Amino acid sequence: MDGIGERRRWTFAAPAAPVQTLAQQATTLIATGLTITSTGTPALNGVYTMQSGVPFGQEDIDTEAQFIAQFGEFTNGATTNLTWPLLSGASVAFPTTSEFLAFAKVAGQFVAAVKLAVSQGSALPAATAQIS
């Protein structure tokens, strides 16, 4: 045919979702938080903020842990019941400095494992950890 009156059938396919780089996947993983399960204090179970540069994120966890290590107490001067928010907005109370240090340890290990996975091009870790 000469193109006049010719019928063409077009099909539309939605574009494929963009593939995230490993670094982008890592950023998303960190942003979704770390799920903590406590065998000794189930009240601490929850999803905690792991991002940098946000309140109660990685820097604040590190600061609190350093303060405990140096002075043997929480930054509020107490040695019991430090209130800490979860990613959901709910709060938990760490009964002791040692329980906070256990949390800070797995939080730091999680973030380090994410960074290592990105640097080595390997699989990202699960966003879960257990403390006693």
Tally Cβ neighbours within 10 Å of residue 114. Answer: 22
| Per-residue model confidence as pLDDT tens digits over 31-51 | 999 999 999 999 999 999 999
pLDDT confidence tier of residue 104, bands split at 50, 70 and 90: very high
CB-based contacts of 2, cutoff 8 Å, min separation 6: none
Reported pTM? 0.84
- Averaged pLDDT, 69-73: 98
Element (H, E) at 105: helix 97-120
Please name the residue that has the structure tokens 């340890």.
105
Distance from C-alpha of 13 to C-alpha of 16, rounded to nearest angstrom: 9
Amino acid at residue number 81: N
Is the CB of residue 38 less than 8 Å from the CB of residue 128? no
Locate the domains of the chain by residue range. 50-131
